[in-house]
Chain A
Amino acid sequence: MLRHQNPIEINSTTTGFASPAETYVDKRLDLNELIVKDIYTTFYFKYSGPEVFGVKQGDTLVIDRNEEPKTGDLVVLTDKTFFKLREYEEQKNLWGKVTWILKKT
């Protein structure tokens, strides 16, 4: 779920010096905004296997089914009984486009 915390309101009527940052209170960055375009079409997969396309065992893949892949894009395909990671060639068996690869250092 996307959850945005609103910045704390700074009340200018309190005593003491007003914070010089008062007029610059933006919303704190939230990783969801960068990675998840649409929570309703986003799914997550875990990669298992030898390193391919820069993806290593245990990496988490973000899939947005709303995104249309172009030739060469990383995609998840169905293959009879399981899912496989491939570079996109044709529409057949497409499950969704990989939009982000999340790795732990």
Chain B
Amino acid sequence: MGQSHMDTQKNLKKIGIIDCNNFYVSCERLFNPESIGRPTVVLSNNDGCVIARSQEAKDLGIKMGEPFFKSREFMDQHRFCVYSSNYNLYGDMSDRVMKVISEFGNDIEVYSIDEAFVDFSNIPQDELNDTLLLIKEEVKRKVGIPVSIGVGPNKTLAKLTSYLAKKSPSHNGVCSYWDIKNFRELCYNIDVDEVWGIGRKWAKKLKNIGVESVGQFINTHEYTVKKLMNINGLKTQLELRGFYCHPIQKKLKPKKNIASTRSFGKDVSGLNQLGEAMYTYIKNGVKKLSQNKLLANKATIFVTGNYHKGDKYHFSKVIKLQKPTRDADLIWSQIAQQYGKLCEKAEKYKKCGIIFNELTPDTIVQTSMFSEDVILVRVPVNQTQDWEMRQEYITQKYTTSWDEIPKVFV
């Protein structure tokens, strides 16, 4: 490191974390007004468990990750609105939110589908709160999604500020680090694993040496922190002390792997159906390769049993592709035989998938002189599709399909 911004520019930066409130629920509510005011949840792929909750649902005690079948009856009794996850909708809405936000800051780093770090250093300190409120209103008005904003001198403190703001609802969804009076004292009441960048593993190590709160962590000797964690742990500590170590990353890092995998709606057996499923996932994966302008050099294929039913098996195989490609039929032809062998190992499976590894940009075309022609294997025909994901409560592609735009009545 040794860069000047690590040690000299204390408190000069203004870094914001913007996150969409209960994002998936907010997306559903925008197009399904019947869910406004009612407890609402969104389920994971295959309707397995709860992955987003409205405030009403949280207040009724529904937990994140709760299996749907366990709380189904309770939800019926309390007139819940339940939705399967609709990633076409969430992806598009996320893109719109990020675009509106990016107009206000210097730089934006889209951190996840519903979160972004923004460099607000361009905004004068005395205008900060008004500007943040304006951003919040603008996103709501233009795109219809409610957001919360936390701002601090760096990413770690922005995150912690945002965490504190959520704990005390008086902040109107907008909170600045510099407005929190007794910040250092508050830190002694916050569990150390609430800090951005401190995962469960590190939190456990810290607790082993008696460091339980954020306040204690801030005051731990740097040497101990570096030894116990690593340079990133040290950076986290420095950021909590007010230094700026994690710059906004404008560009997405190039993808290392692309995975296309899903659970089936029910257990699947037989090569026909398993083949169909795999071929569909290859086609999905190829689409992602194409969107990222990449070719795959290797593919990892796998099949997995139903863990919940005690079928704890997972078979996989890495296959070197003859040349970098994103041609679904060529890929299928090269994996079909090996895949067949994997599928024979057990009676039934719950999940299969393909991960493309060693990706190269499609601008670099390497033609190997010795590459043999691939013998094409007949692709599995779509007959039944009854292995498809369970998505009983999915809503429409309101913003990405002309056939599914919302209806307005008189």
Contact = CB atoms under 8 A, between A and B. Distances in A.
Interface string A47-65: 1111010000000110001
B56 to A, nearest CB: 16
Interface residues of B, number: 20
A32 interface: no
A65 B142 contact: yes
> Is the interface on chain A under 10, 10 to 19, 20 to 34, or 35 or more residues?
20 to 34
A17 interface: no
Contacts of B379: none
> From DSSP, what is the main secondary structure of chain A's interface residues?
strand
Nearest to B402: A44
B405 A44 contact: yes
Interface string B374-410: 0000000000000000000000001100100111111
B142 A40 contact: yes
A64 B407 CA distance: 16
A34 to B, nearest CB: 18
B407 A50 contact: no
Contacts of A85: 408-410
A31 B398 CA distance: 21
Contacts of A76: 408
Nearest to B97: A40
Contacts of B246: none
A45 B396 CA distance: 12
B5 interface: no
A64 B34 CA distance: 22
Interface of B: 33-34, 36, 95-96, 99-100, 141-144, 398-399, 402, 405-410
Given A43-B399, A49-B409, 9 more contacts: A40-B142, A40-B143, A41-B142, A43-B398, A44-B405, A45-B405, A61-B408, A65-B144, A79-B33
7 contacts: A43-B399, A47-B407, A47-B408, A80-B33, A81-B33, A82-B33, A83-B407
Interface of A: 40-41, 43-50, 52, 60-61, 65-66, 76, 78-85, 95
